[in-house]
A and B are shown apart, each in its own frame.
Chain A
């Protein structure tokens, strides 16, 4: 019991610290992208780790946002449908449209250091 209580206390303390750090340095980041005329716009998006990218399909034809390595995949997005994915890991994520595979895009997720993406 006492171990559990101690753990909970430690957990609670940690949460407070986390919240402070979070509040001080990083607002939840969101980046918007569109699908327009059979193109992902912009076709390369560079974001810090933790960013949520939101794609909206502005075409009258459905498209998908499907990563080449299987990390993420949307359902078919009809006109004005949106798909979002939060990038928790650094790396380069290439994606395409499963219906129109010549449509390609890339999300470059970079580690943040001193507020700048590198």
Chain B
């Protein structure tokens, strides 16, 4: 009875400039305080060599075929080339989801092939685009779940250099009318995972959809994230890294800092500035001229986070 048919088928310039494709974010852990800097900015290279660094990339959307970027594999390749050119090799990389556009095997294959060129251990969490196969999430888990001994729909944790990292899934079993969701089983697992950690352990939580409500109208938030933040608030340094919204947004709340990464595929509009959260159209020449233009300093405490936009051509 049911069938699928396959048919072939301003806001301000300042804002446009902070939202670009083809970049990753370099994180430096120094004294438990993460700092980030967009690749391509000279300051990224000035990070102290003694620091522990890791990378975040997000929203590759391999398989997307439309304006403003019909070839997101090429921009992913550019981002990975920048990673390879870093003077200090990062310890590893995290990918905060939407690796693919349609969860197709060839999309995962292509992404893996390009990301593999970075020769970095890479830790993934799924985006909603990665779990739309016939049996939702099976393809993702078979590919990425085993190495991390992922539980449930793909959550896991690991330690590196005294920092505790937790990959969480907030794109599975979403309910009509809702936003991102973690679910009771995952929250119980997280409580158990964190309970023996000392309050001085720096915590990094990463998941696809932002953990704070960026814009409810577009579903840009996680319904039950308050419970995560309750579990995390006793720690002296908690950093939450997300993707999904294809633009940099930051927020600080007590000892918690939140950050969303840009996409390597296409930008999306700032909240409420367009009829919907679809790809934002930009001329091709403009797309690349604004790569690597955002620098972020994330500081512990309640100070506002510093965001500096600068065009690469002026660096």
For the side of the interface on A, what is the size category? Answer: 35 or more
> Please, how many angstroms separate the alpha-carbon atoms of A63 and B67 in the complex?
18
- The contact string, 1 if C-beta is below 8 Å from chain A, for chain B 54-79, is 00000000001111000000000000
Q: Number of residue pairs across A and B with beta carbons under 8 Å? A: 95
With A37-B276, A76-B132: A100-B2 Cβ-Cβ less than 8 Å: no
Q: In the complex, are the beta carbons of A84 and B5 less than 8 A apart?
A: yes
From residue 92 to 108 of chain A, which have CB atoms closer than 8 A to chain B?
94-96, 98-102, 104
A9 within 8 A of B: no
Shortest beta-carbon distance, B204 to chain A, in Å?
A: 26
Question: Which residue in chain B gives the minimum CB-CB distance to A38?
Answer: B276
- Judging by beta carbons under 8 Å apart, are A85 and B279 in contact? no
Cα separation A101 to B3 with both chains bound (whole Å): 21
Inter-chain contact B278/A60, CB cutoff 8 Å: yes
Query: Are the C-beta atoms of B4 and A83 separated by less than 8 Å?
Result: yes
Interface bits A12-45 vs B (CB < 8 Å: 1, else 0): 0000000000000000000000000111000000
State which size class the interface on B falls in. 35 or more
CB within 8 Å of A: which B251-309 residues = 275-279
B219 x A102 contact (CB < 8 A): yes
| Complex contact A94–B3 (CB within 8 A) | no
Is B35 engaged at the interface, CB distance under 8 Å to the other chain?
no
B12 touches A (CB below 8 Å)? no
Shortest CB-to-CB span from A106 to chain B, Å, is 11
Known: A60-B66, A78-B102. A83 touches B3 (CB 8 A): yes
A56: chain B residues within 8 A (beta carbon):
7
Q: Which residues of B contact A62 (CB under 8 A)?
A: 101-102, 129, 132
Residues of B within 8 A of A (CB): 1-9, 64-67, 101-103, 128-129, 132, 134, 136, 174-179, 216-219, 275-279
3 smallest A-B Cβ distances: which pairs?
A: A80-B9, A96-B176, A38-B276
